Amino acid sequence: MEELINITKTPEEINLLSPLTWAYIGDCVYEIYIRTNLVNTTKLKPHAMHMKAIEKVKAHSQAETLKKIYDILTEEERDIVRRGRNAENHHVPKNSNVQEYSYATAFEALIGYLYLTKNTKRLKEILEITVD
């Protein structure tokens, strides 16, 4: 995968990106992780895998996952989460409330930030916790 995706921004440029940009890419990274995990660990048909994936990637589940991992985050990671949670987002999905959605955005921002900064070891640690 590393050969396939070429992140060209410097760490300084990544730090200056909007937390919503981190969340944008984090949403994709988390969904592909969940879907890949389902392919690797189940024998479900595609529709059933899709339904299970939706359960994991919806705002409520992501907000709960953030609560589950918060105590193991570093101060830098907590700052990323705080910035993601406080990002002004004018969109709230119909199946979520504002607080839940802001925590889901914070989780996605953390995943996106770790991905963009190529902190793959830490990203993998956090992602593995999410599927337990």
Active site (catalytic) residues: 27
Instruction: Choose among 37, 111, 121, 34: nearest CA to 69.
Output: 111
Q: Are 13 and 110 in contact (CB under 8 A)?
A: no
* CA distance to 11, 40, 67, 92, 120, per residue, from 64 (Å): 29, 24, 5, 17, 22
Alpha-carbon Rg for the chain in angstroms:
15
CB of 49 closer than 8 Å to CB of 39: yes
